[in-house]
Chain A
C-alpha cells in the first residue's frame, strides 16, 4: 500500500510537471477564435456541426418533398432556391440536393459533432488531462475544418450548381465527363481538406489518450466513451489518408486532365473507374465505424450510469470495439459485389462481413444486460441512449441481408440500403449525439436543459426516425432503387406512392420536432438553471470539477483508483451513503464511517 502511494505520488508529480497550468487568455481572438483550450475548440466544432446539420436536414426535406410530390413546387424553399423552374426541383438540381445532403451530413455534421465536439470535450476531461497533447495542432485542425466549410459553401455557388455525383462520388460521373463545373471540384476539395483536419485531430486524440492519462487511469479504467473516440481516432489516422489519395487523384482528373479513373469508348481513357471504388471503400467502410464507435462508447456509458449499474462485461465491450475496429478494414468489398468483383474475392468479403456481426452482437448483448436488473432513471440522455439501442438494433440487423452476396443482387442500390445505413449512421449516430449533448450540456455550459422539452424532443425524434427510415427499408424491399428523381416513372413502383408520401410526412414532422431541441438548447444556454458540478451523480472525472470547468480543468490532477461505472456497490453504499463513487475518490476505511450513514443515496 505504501509503495503504491509512493508510485502514485511520483507519477502525479511527473504528470503535473508535464502539464503546467497556463493563465487563461483575455483577448477576444485568443479566447474564442484561436483558442488552444480543447473545450472551446469542442464548442467551435459543435456550433459548426449543428449549423450544417440544419443545412443537411433541410436538403433531406427537399428530397422527401420530391418523393411525395414529384415535380411539384417546393413550399417555402422553392421560390428562393428553385426560382428558374417555378419553385420545383429539376432533375439536375435534385442530384445536387441528394449529393450535398449526403456529404454534408457525413463529413460536416456527424463528424464535427460526434468526433470534433465530443472528442475534444471528453477526451482530456474523462482521462484527467489539462488539455490535448498538441493544443496548437488542435486549433489548427478546427480552422482547417472551417476552411473546408467555406469550400462547401463555395460549391453551392458553383456556376453549374453544387456537386451532383452522389456522396460516393464515383467516377467517371464525378469527373468532367459527368459533372463539369466548379461545384463538384470544390466539394472534392472540401472532402480532401476536411480529411487533413480529421488526420490532425486523430493524431492528437491518439497521442492524448496514450500519453496524458492521469496516474492510475489504466486503459481498462477508461470510460467506454473514451475507448470509442480513441478507436475512431485510430481509424481516422489509418484510413482518411486513403480517402485523401482517392480525392487527390480525382481532383487531378478534374483539373489537370489526368485519366486515373477514366476508361471506356466515350473518353478513351486508360484508367480504371473501379480503382476509385476500392480506395473509397477502404476508407468508406471504416468510416461507418468511425461514425458509430463514439456513439457506441457514449451509449455504453450512459446505459450504465442511468441504470445505476456497472456496464456489463466492460472488458468484453472494449475488446468487441477493438475487434470491430480491426475487422472494419477487411470488409469493404461488400460495397462492390455488383462491380464484376472476382467471385472468390466477393465470397471472402462476405465471410468477413458476417464475422463482424459477432463483436457487434457481443456489444449489443452487453448493453441489454447492463439495463437488466438496474434501477433505471429515465432522464433525457437515457431516453436517447435507449432510443439509440432500438434504432441500432434495426440498423444492425438489416445489414445482414446486404452482407451476403445473393440477397444483395436484389437489394443492392435500393432504398433498403438507404434505410439500413440511415438507421446506423444517421439515426444511431445522431441519437447518441443528442444523448451526449443532453448529458454533457450542464458541464459544457454550466446550465441545465429542460427535461420536459428534452423528452418531447426524444419522442418526436425516435418515432419520426423509425417511421422515415423504416419506410425506406420497406420501399427498398419492394424494389424501389436509389436516387430516383421520380420513382413513379416505373410501373412496378406505382403502388409505392402512398408509402413514399406517408414516409415524407413522417420526415416533415421529424424535422419540425427538432424545434424543441433548438429552443431548449438556446433557451437553456441563456436562461437555464445553474448546473451543479455533478447533476447526474456519476463518478467519472469530469463530474469531480466545477461546471463549466476552469481552463486548466483540474487544479490538481486526479489519481484514479477505479473504473468508470462503480455504481450501486454495497461497499460504497455502506461507507459513503450513496450509490456512486468518483473514479479518483478515496473510499474511507470502514472504521471511519459513522454507523448512522443513510442507507441509500
Chain B
C-alpha cells in the first residue's frame, strides 16, 4: 500500500516521505478514510445531480413527510452503517495505534537502545540536549545543539519538550509526529526513525512574527555514526563547560517527567 501513497501527485500534492517505523499507521488511516470519504462524497454528488436533473419542475413532487417508521428507520440505518464502518475503522485503528505505539511511552522508555532528547523551545529556535555518556541530564557531559537533532536509525527516539516563552509545537512531518511545547510543562513524544537522511523540523504553533523561520533538522544516521558523533560532541562540551553559567543549564531530570500528567 505504502508505495503508491508516497508518490507526490500533480502540483506536489501527497504525503511527505514517511521516514519513521510507525508512520505507516497514520498514512494508512488517512488514506483509508480518504477512500471512504471520496466514496460517500461521490454517492452524494450523484444523488444530488439525480434530484436536480431528474426531479425538476416537470416532476410531480411526492407528498411525503418521511415520518413513517419504515422511512426513518432507513435513514437511521444508513447513518448507523456509515458510523460503524467509517468512524469505527478510524476509532479502532486509532485506539490500537495510540495505546500500543504513540502514547505508549512506557514501552519506548524500556527499549535498551532508546535515545533521549530534551527540547527547549524559545522564540525562534529549538535548543536540543542529550544526556551524554553518564546518562544524566544537566551535567557537564551533556551535548547541547541548536536546531540540530541527530538520531540513530532504528532506535526509538524519545523527546521531552518544553518552552521558555510562548507556545510552540515541535513538528517533524516526515516522522508524522508533533507535540506542543508549553511553558511550565514538559510534554513527551516519540518515534523510531527508519530511513537515514535529513528531515525538517518546523514549528506548528503560531509563536510570533518569525514563527515561519523556527526551523530545524533531524539527521538520521547509522547507529555507529551516532555513537561516534555523541562521544566527540560530549568531549567537546566537557571542555567548554562553565559551572557559573546558570542559563546554559536549562536541562531537567528526565525520570521525573516520564509519567502521564
Contacts and interface: CB of A to CB of B under 8 A. Distances in A.
Asked if A and B are interacting partners, one says yes
Contact of B29 (A170, A406, A412): A406
B13 interface: yes
A477 B76 contact: no
B202 A481 contact: yes
Interface stretch (A45-53, A107-115, A441-449, A567-575): A567-575
Nearest to B120: A265
Contact of A492 (B16, B26, B99, B250): B16
B33 A401 contact: yes
B193 to A, nearest CB: 16
Interface in A322-364: 338-340, 342-343, 346-347, 350-351, 354, 357-358, 361-362
Contacts of A398: 37
Given A393-B44, A409-B176, A351 B91 contact: yes
Given A314-B65, A342-B260, A407-B29, A413 B205 contact: yes
Contacts of B174: 492
Contact of A274 (B14, B162, B185): B185
A365 B64 contact: no
Size category, B interface = 35 or more
A424 interface: no
Interface stretch (A189-197, A290-298, A483-491, A543-551): A483-491
A389 interface: yes
A207 interface: no
A237 interface: no
B146 interface: no
A164 B207 CA distance: 10
Given A340-B261, A485-B212, A567-B61, A166 B13 contact: no
Q: Quick one: which of A307, A311, A338, A343 has the most chain B CB within 10 A? A: A338
B70 to A, nearest CB: 12
Nearest to A167: B206
Nearest to A413: B204
A369 to B, nearest CB: 6
Interface residues of A, number: 112
Interface in B3-37: 8, 11-16, 23, 25-26, 29-30, 33, 37
B165 A178 contact: yes
A62 B123 CA distance: 25
Contact of A177 (B41, B59, B166): B166
Given A340-B261, A362-B76, A490-B202, A172 B178 contact: no
Contact of B179 (A313, A340, A374, A495): A340
A308 interface: yes
Contacts of A369: 66, 75
Contacts of A357: 82-83, 87
A102 B23 CA distance: 32
Given A307-B61, A342-B260, A499-B12, A400 B90 contact: yes
Given A406-B25, A406-B102, A372 B260 contact: no
Contacts of B103: 343, 346
A271 B183 CA distance: 10
Nearest to A398: B37
Contacts of B165: 172, 177-178, 264, 266-267
B16 A479 contact: yes
A91 B76 CA distance: 50
A279 interface: no
B72 A478 contact: no
Interface stretch (B46-54, B110-118, B150-158, B225-233): B46-54
A94 to B, nearest CB: 8
B250 A265 contact: yes
B94 interface: yes
User: For chain B, what secondary structure do more than half of its interface residues adopt (helix, strand, loop), or is it mixed?
Assistant: mixed
Contacts of A568: 60-63
A368 B178 CA distance: 39
B51 to A, nearest CB: 4
B51 A482 contact: no
A578 interface: no
A310 interface: yes
Interface string B184-206: 11111000000000001010111
Contact of A263 (B94, B95, B183): B183
B238 interface: no
B204 A412 contact: yes
B243 interface: no
A312 B61 CA distance: 13
A342 B102 contact: no
B184 A474 contact: no
Nearest to A265: B164
Interface in A4-46: none
A406 B212 contact: no
B71 interface: yes
Contacts of B78: 361, 365
A315 B164 CA distance: 53
A1 interface: no
A481 B261 contact: no
Contacts of B240: none
B235 interface: no
Contacts of B204: 338, 412-414, 481-482
A407 B95 contact: no
Interface string A378-413: 100000001001100110011011011111011111
5 contacts: A350-B94, A371-B51, A374-B59, A375-B61, A397-B40
In the complex, the 3 A-B pairs of residues with the closest C-beta atoms, listed nearest first: A264-B183, A263-B184, A495-B12
Given A95-B211, A173-B206, A494-B12, 14 more contacts: A262-B183, A310-B65, A313-B71, A339-B187, A340-B180, A357-B82, A357-B83, A369-B66, A372-B50, A409-B102, A410-B15, A475-B13, A492-B174, A499-B11
Interface of A: 90-92, 94-95, 164-166, 170-173, 177-179, 262-267, 269, 271-274, 307-316, 338-340, 342-343, 346-347, 350-351, 354, 357-358, 361-362, 365-366, 368-378, 386, 389-390, 393-394, 397-398, 400-401, 403-407, 409-414, 474-475, 477-479, 481-487, 489-492, 494-499, 502, 565, 567-570, 579
